[in-house]
Structure 1
Amino acid sequence: MAAVSNYEPLEKFAEGSQAAVYLRKHASANLAIVLSCLALIGIAWAWTLDRATFERAETVANAMKQNENLALAFEEHTIRTLKGVDQAISFVKSQYLEHGLKLDIRKMIENGTVDAGLFVLIGITDERGNLVIGSVEFDPVNVAERESFKFHRGNNAEGMLIGKPILGRATRKWVVPMSHRIDKADGSFGGIVFVSVDPEYFTGFYQKADLGEQGAISLMGLDGISRATRIGRKGTVGEDMRATRTFSQQAKNRIGSFLGGGRLDGVVRFLSFRTLAQYPLIVTVGTSEAEVMASFRERERSYYMNAGFASAMVVFFAAFMMAASSRRKLAVEALRDNETQLREAQRVAKLGSWEWHVNTDTNIWSQEHYRIFGRDPTLPAPTYKENPQLYAPESWERLKAVVEETLRTARPYELDLEFLRADGTRGWLVARGEALRDATGKITRLRGTAQDITERKRAEQAALDQFKLAETIFNHSVSCFIVLDRNFNFLRVNEAYARACRREIGEFAGRNHFEMYPSDGKVIFEDVVRTGKPFETFAMAFVFPDQPERGVTYWDWTLVPVLDEQGEVECLVFSLNDVTERKRAQQVLEQSMRQVQALSERMMKVQQEERDDIARELHDELGQTLTALKVNLQMLEPYCADGEAEDHLTEALMITGRALEQVHSITFDLRPAELEFLGLAAVLEAHAARQAQAAGWRLHFEAAAALGRLSPELETACFRVAQESLTNVMRHAGAKQVWVSLGLNGAAVELSVRDDGKGFDADKASDGLSSPSLGLIGMRERVRLRDGRLTIRSAIGRGTEVRASFPIEPAGGREPDANAQTQA
């Protein structure tokens, strides 16, 4: 026993059965009348006219009832479809608000998150009307002039807008647009989410209900514009229906039926319309008067012929009786057709009906009721005593209780039940029932309806599961979560926050956050409430007033406002992560880095001072001594003009000359004094040329003409990097050609030393897997101290390039930046 929102389908089923009984009784009465009228031709004609009038009215009534049933089913089909569309739009909107332009609707369709069977296109526009996301490939499209976009931009009303049919720019198909407004975080207009529904999806109901060759079905807006219309096999959209009788009738009554001419094709039809309560739409179902009345008019002609024959010849009595029997058969068949259409309407609406005879414990089920429970309709319906096998135990207990209550009080019931199908699967239905009394007032029957709501229940369960998951994350997250009202009173805290505060969760209930933990951060909280915009900060310092022994703690935290339907801040979600240990470790590391950098700078300075001292000693002492020795040896040349002494003197002069050159070279390496007089470009070119001559390279040197003079410190640093690079080429590269360039790049000096030697694995040299040379370390440190950038590119067999970039500094130099970048 179970059921839908009213009992009209069951009542019509009962009326059909009563009509069959009535026809059988009326046929017997007609036979008696015919026998009595054999003597009176006038009575025969009176009966014929009465019969024709009766059947005309009955045929019209049956057609109207059939149309009303189909209009009801079409209404439920339309509402169910629109709710599905509304839910899909709302879901896509929520995902867009969460993921923004990263949202992939096509992926959602592919993995089944969104059922695209209804939609030609699902799309999202920005506030300017540009299509930014779509379920199909699309060219740039702007819909700012569309009616739905203008409506949402000018109105912040919630709910789905059902627009007039349009020709889609992306799909080039006629569609019915349905859309939701998107609000930005500050409540301003952010665009729309829309779907394009094929009008055929609504008028496809025509295929499920036999409306004849000239039948009509229409879905019209309260604005008088057709969303979807089908007349016969032809479908149309967008007609202006305001001049139709349907449009004028619905202004007076929500539901109605009438006989009228078709505005589009002039065909007269029986029309039934229903105005949807939830949406500004009207559904209309119509059947052609000519098709509905065709069988009646055929019978009407036979009536008159039979009456004429009866008037002329009584001998044709037998033939008259056969015609009467034929008429009764046609009436029964018409009734059966009506019952078939009722069953089809119930199937479309997933609506089953039942009737229980209490005294005999027998049930009558409709075809759809059998289908819902998955049972064979050729078998008798289960009795009330067998009902426990149809429901889950808990649902059966509730159903049994309300049935017993209804039998006592005649009070109708309605409840959700979990039922069991014949194949063992489970589902949910809405069950409704009412009591019927006999002539004595005793309750002898219960009747009702059942609607399969399994899909809706599954959606509700999925939403509940998501809520439970969110609760689990909130309660067991290692991050601290707090929910505050707009006045910063605690609403909820999780275990992690209570542990971080070294309190019990119950201590926070009803208390104000800033009364417990006063801080300057209250201004930030007030600003978030005022603007409705979230706030995020990192490593915010905080001292617990009730636990000063903990010292300064540091927190990464985020404050997110939750807005109500009016866009006002309803509450705040406050999430925190304790980064105190990380912050303290970072402070220690930064202090160590500063110390190391200061030490490195001092070492470089001391090293340069030592180089200068050694170079000065070599030049002033050893250089002078060797020069004096060479002069003295030259003075001996006149006395050693012949013989072996001349050879020894010449050799001594050569050795002394080479020693002077070596002293000069060492002095230059230690302290290139020429930098002070000649500048970086000239000194570097000369040094590279000497190295090339010694190593046998082919040198390619290039220096920018606009380079000019730089600060002494910068010229020295740049020369030392080039010097070390050339030394490495000489020692390790085995190169044949070397390219040295010196130029300007904006406000920086660019130095490049490149060779075609054997190269090395630069990645290993830079990731710590191999020990870098002291020369490479020195180059990096010199570049860092000048706020520069060092890049080394090399690969085995492909040569090496050392590139250094130094910012141009004013004369007199500047202090080095500890954050200068180096890269290998």
Structure 2
Amino acid sequence: MPTDLPGHPEPAAATSLARDLRRDRWRVVVAYLVLALVWILCSDAAVKVVAGDMQTAAQWQTIKGTFFVLSSAALIYLLLRPLAQHVLSTHARLESSETRHRQMFEGNPGPILVYDLDSLAILDVNPAAASFFGYSRDAFTAMPINALWPPGDVPALEVKLAQIRENPDQLCVITADLCLSDGSTRRMEMRSNLISYGGRRSRLLIAIDRTREDQALQRRDQALARVEEAHEMARIGAWEIDPATGLGRYANQVYRLLGRRPPEARRWHRFDELLVPADPATAALSEQLLQDMTSGEPVQIDVLLPLLAMDGRALMVHLRAESGQDDAGRPRVLGTLQDVTEREQSRRLLREREEQFRELVRVLPDGVVILSEEHVLYANACAAAQFGYGQHTLLGEPLAALVATDDLPRVRGQLFAQVPQQSVSAGEVIGMRRLNGERFQAGLAVGDVRYGGRNCKLLIVRDLSEPERIREALETSNRELQAMAGRLFSLQEDERRAISRDLHDDIGQAITAMKLSAYAAQDEQDAARRDEDLAQIIQLADATVGKLRDISTLLRPPQLDALGLEAALRWQAGVLFRSAAIDLLPDIQSLPRRPAGDIEQACFRIAQESLTNVLRHARASQVNLHLRDVDDHGLHLQVRDDGEGFDPEGPRGLGLIVMRERAQSVGGTLRIESAHGAGTLIDLYLPYRASGATAHDSLEH
């Protein structure tokens, strides 16, 4: 075992022992000399006084010498005893200290080596070094320290050793790759200092394995590089601000996001030097945010800011920030800046598309229903109206409540078929059911959709009841038109026969009578008789003219052309109800402008037919006739009576059909309201100028 332990300094006890030995040896010598001199001088004087002769004096000298030897021996023992005890105690402490340091050297879990600075020979190693490097202690002590370095690193080691030899007292710290006995290398951090080992100038080397730390640092650097790449791809950059000064440091990505060139070295500067607000509102918001960051209060920011890049591009950035601390524990505002321009544009477009789709579904004339497990999750307004529900009360209703019982299996088969059909087959309809139990016919289209994160069924319902009703109404109208056409031809023939009969019976006979009277007057010689014949001719001519006027008035009243619609209606109503026991209450207002001829004729004929029907069929006691202007866009005619009324859905006469046809032919609308015992209302709206075809000549008569 070496006498000098690696790293073992000179003990304090040894220094104290040497100092005490040097002090106490002189103390013993001086004390002994003083005691001897005092004893010699005093003892010789006493002998002279006591002894009278030489023999007695010699005896006392013998006694004196014996006493001196004994007393000096005792004194030396007393003086050297504490010093000897101190030496033994110090030696025991030195041995204990050397044992402890050797145990620390041997038991240290880290590799420790001692090598000669001049020869580089390894002088000693602890067991941890032997175990770590894989060499035995004897193998270690037989090799130089540079044998642990890879061959390519030996020149760099020689340079470092030269520096150590120039300044041997300095602590040396180096990091290098060292070779193990199996040929592998480990990254080691080595600390060495100068020691004396067996009187030789040596270095104590403590090795620390940094391989795992270097690997961890390498992985961290790789992770940071990947994070930087991710930030680059996500267009996000980090920053920090000192709330005390308002200055901040920013990642290079922040500069690039804002269209700026990153500085060569990161420096502290204000955040507002980078931001270019897109509008005054953003400028005010940015200023407020910076004030909040430097207020010293806890910060929690998450906002979108419209900015301008240095090249003029419009940016939308997502600014996040919160209070935190840096590595040294100092308060910081830590945050990120992310370019979300494309994301926000995509979101805006998506919102627009969703709004367009939602509006399209809302205004779609067909019902749209989304089902999940045969229950309604969504229904548009049209579907709610089709089934007689409110828009929200339809939600949650089962499919069985919407489909007729006998058609429910067909609908389920269509919904859950392996290959869904797009619609029902041509001519096939599905029976559906409204909230009030009413059944209606519908065509269906089905499909698969995702709604609310679930797989659902899309059901599009087309109500076919209205087309069926229109088809039936068209068929009824066609039958009515055919009947009306036949009846019109019949009426025209009847009117022609009546006019022919009137012309033949009345006008023809009157003209024949005037002709005979004229012949008679021509042959009459008596002046008085001739004057009577001429007077009879004049009377017959007046009567004939009156009959022709009546026939002409029936065909077309002259008041309609001469005085207009208002006067013609007053005249016609007065003529019809002149001798009738029905109270006529006319309210005919002046129109701001005169309607077109076909409008006047249609309105007059409808009023004429309505008043005639009141006289013939209503058995009314009172009838109201109203005519007024409608905002200078058209005219409004109402004929209301308090008669017996009739069933509008029942068989209709030709007069009602002709009235409706007259109104539609000039672009107007006619509404007829009646009920048994409740009277009848004829409500007519006509424009001032016809928008459709003019009335047929056949309807004018």
The structure number with the bigger radius of gyration is 2
Assess same fold via TM > 0.5: no
- Give the TM-score normalised by the residue count of structure 2: 0.31
Specify which structure has the bigger relative contact order, considering alpha-carbon pairs within 8 angstroms and separated by 6 or more residues.
1
